Amino acid sequence: MLLTIPKFLRSAGVACLDLLYPPHCAICLTATPSGEHLCLGCRKSAPVISALCCHTCSAPFSGQIDGPFSCPNCRERRFHFTCAVARYQSRDAVRELVHRFKYNGKVHLRNVLVDWLEETLDDPRLQTPPCDRIVPVPLHSTRERERGFNQARILAEGLARRSGIPLADCMKRIRYTTTQTIFDREERMENLRDAFRMRKNSDMHDLHLLLIDDVLTTGSTVDECARILIEAGAASVRVATVARA
């Protein structure tokens, strides 16, 4: 809708809004430049995951180590995705903004989240081979109606726009699953069984896919999506999220 408004009118509109509602940091409320929802201080305090992390799931590692490192969880488990990359830990300002975006409908915060998501593209694990398509983790249509949007698709669209990598909204969530967090691993897998399928006429053959979700927690959801995508012929699936638990 916004795109159909001439640019000068849009700028004038933004200037009026800035007067009525002075732009401020979503976390500490200090004044920010127009269009910014996080001040420099809060941006700098976001908990970054150093390069010293699990090669597969990006779990932070606090010690001395040389070369690629695998966390205990990834050593005993085989995922269908090659790696899951996140630049931030899901706590403090990062956790707060993701929460407001996802559960309180503060969709305007997406730009900050896409900034954080976009930083994953600097990671060597996502550069070779190059990603051919960006795929959002699907949300069940009932859940999407309740929430009003699919947070993963909004983030994936933002990343696709900035990176030039085409978006492929090629999956559907066909089972309305209950929340995953209370289950152990086997219960989670059972809960996800037949939850996803490919959309008709989507051809992902021989493509390197980048699967997008907001936060990586146990990895079970993205792993199940990766399983379906590989089964549909994808050459590989890597995962990028705004943050990881």
Q: Which residue ranges make up the site for Zn ion (CB under 5 A)?
A: 25, 27-28, 39, 42, 54, 56-57, 59, 71, 74
Q: Which is nearer to Zn ion, 82 or 202 (CB)?
A: 82
Which token pair is 15?
């200037």
Q: What values do phi and psi take at 186, rounded to 5? A: -65, -40
Q: Which is nearer to Zn ion, 96 or 118 (CB)?
A: 96
Pairing of strands 236-244, 88-89: parallel
Quick check: 163 and 133 in contact, CB under 8 A? Answer: no
The minimum distance between CB 57 and Zn ion, in angstroms, equals 3
Using CA atoms, how far residue 233 sits from 49, 132, 170, 207, in Å, is 32, 14, 13, 8
CA dist., res. 106 & res. 10, Å (int): 20
Q: Which is nearer to Zn ion, 6 or 72 (CB)?
A: 72
Quick check: 23 and 34 in contact, CB under 8 A? Answer: yes
CA dist., res. 70 & res. 68, Å (int): 7
The minimum distance between CB 34 and Zn ion, in angstroms, equals 16
210 membership: H or E segment, kind and range: strand 208-216
The minimum distance between CB 238 and Zn ion, in angstroms, equals 14
The minimum distance between CB 115 and Zn ion, in angstroms, equals 14
Q: Which is nearer to Zn ion, 56 or 151 (CB)?
A: 56
The minimum distance between CB 234 and Zn ion, in angstroms, equals 21
Q: Which is nearer to Zn ion, 61 or 149 (CB)?
A: 61
